[in-house]
Structure 1
Amino acid sequence: MEEDKMGMRIQSETIEIVKDEKGLVGISIGGGYPFCPCVYVVQIFEKSPAELDGRIRAGDEVVAVNGISTKGERKSAVAQLIQCSTNPVKITINKLETNSSKGKTLDIMMKKIKHKIVEFMDTDSIDALGLSRAILCNDPLLKKMKILEDNTLLYRNMIAYFEDLFYLHDKVSYYQRVYFPMIT
Structure 2
Amino acid sequence: MDYDLEEDKLGIPTVPGTVTLKKDANNLIGISIGGGAQYCPCLYIVQVFDNTPAALDGTLAAGDEITGVNGKTVKGKTKVEVAKMIQTVQGEAVIHYNKLQADPKQGKSLDIVLKKVKHRLVENMSSGTADALGLSRAILCNDGLVKRLEELEKTAELYKGLMEHTKRLLRAFFELSQTHRAFGDVFSIIGVREPQAAASEAFVKFADAHRSIEKYGIQLLKTIKPMLHDLNTYLHKAIPDTKLTIRKYLDVKFEYL
Structural mapping, 1:64-143, within 5 Å: 64-102=68-106, 104=108, 110-134=114-138
Task: Kindly provide the amino acid, as one letter, of the partner of residue 69 in structure 2.
Answer: V
Name stretches of at least 5 consecutive residues in structure 1 with no aligned partner: 138-142, 150-184
Aligned-residue CA RMSD (Å): 3.1
Higher percent of residues as helix: 2
Rate the CA distance shift 1:58–1:80 in 2: closer, same or farther, 3 A: same
Higher percent of residues as strand: 1
Task: Kindly provide the amino acid, as one letter, of the partner of residue 36 in structure 1.
Answer: C
1:17 aligned to which of 4, 21, 30: 21
Contact 1:43 1:135 in 2 (8 A): no
Deviation at 1:43, TM superposition (A): 1.2
Listed one character per residue, the Cα deviations across residues 130-155 of structure 1 (whole Å, up to 9, x for unaligned) are: 22235666xxxxx89628x9xxxxxx
- Larger deviation: 54-63 or 117-126? 117-126
Deviation at 1:113, TM superposition (A): 3.5
Structural mapping, 1:2-41, within 5 Å: 6=11, 8-41=12-45
For 2:17 and 2:139, locate their aligned partners in 1 and report how far apart those are by CA, in whole Å. 25
For 1:15 and 1:144, locate their aligned partners in 2 and report how far apart those are by CA, in whole Å. 34
Q: 2:240 is matched with which residue?
A: none
Deviation at 1:129, TM superposition (A): 1.9
TM-score by length of 1: 0.65
Q: 1:146 is matched with which residue?
A: 252
For 2:19 and 2:115, locate their aligned partners in 1 and report how far apart those are by CA, in whole Å. 24
| Aligned residues with identical type, % of pairs | 45
Contact 2:36 2:132 in 1 (8 A): no
Contact 1:59 1:107 in 2 (8 A): no
